[in-house]
Structure 1
């Protein structure tokens, strides 16, 4: 099994890609950019999948990270792709990912 810090690094890399894809983008413009939507969704899936591989003892030690919700989002994105609400995705990208990024960077430095 991979070291859990490699999964944290996968999360960090996926967040950086999403930031790159959405820099200077509005929700209105995003609605017209299928490739960007696909890139965001794919990287959110990567984040969720990586989260599933974080050991339970780490999840217990850092309960302020919503591990279960992140993994659940991955399942929703993977299995209900055609029912994805872009406003929810946009909120995650703009409000949840910056917080997660800080927490992941903190864990990577430990």
Structure 2
């Protein structure tokens, strides 16, 4: 049974908003010292990446502006680099890439709801 693409999109929006809450009002220096925040953000990025791998190809093709492969690749890097997670990269993803992704994902969600 195929999952409704809207379910995948809604799940991503939820994860994105959780990441935004985790880093809201957080300075980079605080993030770098907080293993708890790091773990929380990393986990949500992993979930977004894993969900991306299962997203329907036709939707990925239609919305090729989103770097689907990079998102999935980030997940793989986080999962497999146990001792070498780049926290600078993780911070940049959480504070720069995630807000941009949210805009694009919300556009897709609106289109799918029509």
Range class of TM-score, shorter chain:
over 0.9
Q: 1:81 and 1:11 mapped to 2: Cα distance?
A: 24
- Contact 1:4/1:53 (CA < 8 Å) preserved in 2? no
Q: Which sections of structure 2, spanning at least 5 residues, go unmatched?
A: none
Aligned residue pair count:
110
Residue 54 of structure 1 deviates from its aligned partner by 1.1
Aligned to 2:26: 25
- Contact 2:23/2:95 (CA < 8 Å) preserved in 1? no
Aligned to 2:59: 58
Residue 81 of structure 1 deviates from its aligned partner by 2.6
- Contact 1:65/1:103 (CA < 8 Å) preserved in 2? yes
- Contact 2:16/2:98 (CA < 8 Å) preserved in 1? yes
Aligned to 2:107: 106
Q: 1:73 and 1:81 mapped to 2: Cα distance?
A: 13
Aligned to 1:4: 5
- Contact 1:8/1:50 (CA < 8 Å) preserved in 2? no
- Contact 1:10/1:46 (CA < 8 Å) preserved in 2? no
Q: 1:107 and 1:53 mapped to 2: Cα distance?
A: 16
- Contact 2:52/2:71 (CA < 8 Å) preserved in 1? yes
Runs of 4+ in 1 over 2 A off after TM superposition: none
Residue 91 of structure 1 deviates from its aligned partner by 0.9
Q: Which sections of structure 1, spanning at least 5 residues, go unmatched?
A: none
Aligned to 2:72: 71
